[in-house]
Amino acid sequence: TLFCRTTTTTTTTTTRTTEAFSIAHGSTSSLKTQSSRLASFSTNYWNDNQNDSDLPSTSASFAIHPMEVKAVEVTKRLGLSESQHKQLAALCSCVVFWNERINLVSRKDCAEDVVFGRHVLPSLAIMSSLISDEKNEEEMRVIDVGTGGGFPGLPLAIALPDVQFVLVDSVGKKLAAVQEMAEELGLQNVQTHHSRVEEMVDDELNGHLHLHNYDFVLGRSVTKLPRFCFWVSDLLKRDTGRLLYIIGGDLEDKVLSKLSADVCIDDLLGEAGSSDKRLLTMQQPQVQLLADESGEIKRIGSAKRQRSNPRRKNRAAKGAWSKRDSSNSKQRGYEGFKRYGY
């Protein structure tokens, strides 16, 4: 049974839990109508951490409720079963539930139809690139860098239960929520790792477990692509590893020249208007080349830099005792004192 656990008794939480339970059992009594669609598109709707309180919302442009016929048709076209679709629907409810407590995705208009259309479907678009590989799925290792609210890792783990996924993020509270959702959904092929990705291979105890050990590295608008390549280049298997990166907007020529594929998410899903993003594919040698050209410098360890102030270098601390100069005579205050007798 799939449902989101709750420890409060508010009306909102109870309703959210009931909806997730109903979706997992195929009930349609709690379904919402699709949100009205807006005309404008966002230039970077993956930027979940930005303060968008003053920005016009465009999430509804991609909204589609997971139990709509259109949504079911898309997942069927991708080869997913009915039970997998119900898991995806339950995932949407869980994300909404946790997002009320932790900022996993943008809170401006977070609802199940927005989560499914804006986050789940673009994540599933990566499927074709993973399963088209000649490797055995049971031997395949995939790492999702900067997973945030669990995307694209969790939807792909539902769609590909034989593939092992490692979800990495530097924000511990987000990763704790992702781990909780994975357990609630019964996903046995998901591991979470709390770390900065650029420090994973330098770990004295477990660094060897990550060094050149992944068939695929996934990311979605985490940072500029050259910097991202610098962070993850040591994770990919030499020669055979591949980077799959969801991004929007224009790219530099030095990035375009190294891509082995650049495909619109719409085309991968077979659904026009489902996204304004694209999926980039890059082979490991090109990832390494772009990393070398990034200009980034690897900083090992998280120790804070010591600030230096040359003006205070030889200055004694305020109130500190100073060493007495013995060459000077003691000042006792009674030089020239004369005693008068009576």
pLDDT in tens, 84-121: 999 999 999 999 999 999 999 988 879 999 999 999 99
Q: What is the pLDDT of residue 125?
A: 97
Token pair listed for 134: 């000649």
Q: Which amino acid is at 32?
A: K
CA 276 – CA 310 distance, rounded (Å):
53
CB 149 within 8 A of CB 104: yes
DSSP category for residue 274: S
Q: What is the pLDDT of residue 53?
A: 45
Query: What strands, in cross-sheet order, belong to the sheet with 278-283?
Result: 190-194, 164-169, 141-145, 216-220, 242-247, 278-283, 261-264
pTM: 0.73
Indicate if the alpha-carbon torsion angle 216, 218, 222, 226 is positive or negative: positive
DSSP category for residue 236: B
Q: pLDDT tens digit string along 24-57?
A: 444 433 333 333 333 333 333 334 444 444 455 5
Q: What is the pLDDT of residue 28?
A: 38
Residues of the chain whose pLDDT is less than 70? 1-59, 133-134, 300-342
Q: Which amino acid is at 95?
A: V
Spatial CB neighbours of 89, under 8 Å, sequence gap ≥ 6: 23, 24, 66, 67, 112, 116
Rg (CA), the chain: 28
Q: What is the pLDDT of residue 207?
A: 93
- Give me the residues paired with residue 246 across strands: 220, 279
CA 314 – CA 147 distance, rounded (Å):
48
- 3-state SS class at 87: helix
Helix spans in 39-162 (H) = 69-77, 82-99, 112-115, 121-124, 127-131, 153-159
Nearest to 98 by CA among 53, 55, 150: 150
Q: What is the pLDDT of residue 255?
A: 96
